[in-house]
Amino acid sequence: MASGEETLVHEILSGDVNSYALLVKRYQKPIYNLMLRMTSSEQDAVDLTQETFVRAYEKLEKFDPSAPFFPWLYTMGLNLARDFLRRAKKFPIEFYELENSFSIEIDQDDSLADRIDAQDVLEGLQTLPVDYREALLLRFHEGLCVSEVASALGLSLSAAKMRIHRGLLRLRQLLEKQ
Amino acid sequence: MKNTPANIEKDLSRIAGLIAEIRYAEAPESLSEKVLASIKPKKMTFFKRLLRRLKTPVSVTPLRVLPASVSALAIFALALTLFWRAPGTRIVTERINEVTDQGIKTVMLILDRSDARDVEVIGSFNNWSPEGIRMVWDEDRGLWVVVLNLRRGSYEYAFRINGKEIIADPMAFLHRDDGFGHQNSILIIGNGNGNEAKI
């Protein structure tokens, strides 16, 4: 758990709303960006981010303060975003059978690693199924350990490892085709 | 470039590094204010407050909060009889809370620090002698334990771990600043009516 979060949670449960403000400020950026990716709408992203934090506050008694707060919050946000898209009858790519995908060998002088930048990777990520995209962002952008990624996405440890590895391979394939 | 395992590994490392570099959009500044405007401070039930009080050390001035009768007992703090059980002695837990005819009470202090090599209690009950009272590692409980026989009174104490680190008793309810950046725990021995406690 991030520094001092267990104490913060105890303080919030004791009635200190200001301690919750610290958690909101700490995590509003990744949650807001999750909602932007899910909805592609700034207004919907703001509303869903707000709803995520309010819902997390309401359910805080059920949270184990010794566990990391962010994966728990992220799970809640992801579920809210999926519910929102379902109601709006918008369906993101949820699952993609990567086992059946194949790579195209392209002969280029420069290696892929030398040709790509963060913008290319961001564009590639946006074409990946949600679970793969979020697994990669949680692992490499948020710096969560694999067990925390598994917790946030409701996966087993081995499934989370596989999701990250296959997500990277798929992203490489996409970038090679560019 | 050929898709050799080395090239693939290089690409994957590069992609992972670039994911870390992706710049996120800033959340609107008003977001946290909106969240806070939507929530109310939580109210704890009596039992949750009690549980939290048991778990959380608080820093207070005992004379402010303790009844006058208990405060008066502190005057007799120096009139102490102390019996220390040597390491390895069987701990007679049955005697805990027993008050003898002489008004001496048996109390047990415990500390959950399995990483410690040795633990001592230092405190007002032996005039803060540098030679603390050694605690015994109780294998069954997985705790450091010491049993003290104390007269009525109010005592301040702390644990010394591995001869250096000094900490207050995490199980104590009340603590007092020692004026040197540490906190001492407070132990009250009452009149044997069962209300006395390690506080």
All structural domains of chain B with their residue ranges:
92-189
Residue B62 banded pLDDT, cuts 50, 70, 90 = very low
- C-alpha to C-alpha distance for B141 and B145, rounded to whole angstroms: 9
Burial of residue B184 (CB within 10 Å: 0-12, 13-18, 19+) is: buried
pLDDT tens-digit series, residues A142-174: 999 999 999 999 999 999 999 999 999 999 988
The nearest CA of chain B is from the CA of A96 a distance in Å of 19
Indicate the pTM of the whole model: 0.57
**Token pair listed for A27:** 């995590």
Tell whether A1 lies on the interface with B, counting CB pairs under 8 A. no
pLDDT tens-digit series, residues A69-124: 999 999 999 999 999 999 887 665 444 444 444 343 445 556 777 778 888 899 89
Q: Which CATH architecture has domain B92-189?
A: Sandwich (2.60)
The nearest CA of chain B is from the CA of A14 a distance in Å of 6
Tally helices (H) and strands (E) across chain A: 9, 0
Strand partners, B197: B188
Q: What number of other Cβ atoms are within 10 A of residue B192's Cβ?
A: 15
Q: Does B35 sit within 8 Å of A24, measured CB to CB?
A: yes
Tell whether A157 lies on the interface with B, counting CB pairs under 8 A. no
Query: Is the complex ipTM more than 0.85?
Result: no
User: Which residues from chain A sit within 8 angstroms of residue B21, using beta carbons?
Assistant: 118
Q: Does B36 sit within 8 Å of A28, measured CB to CB?
A: no
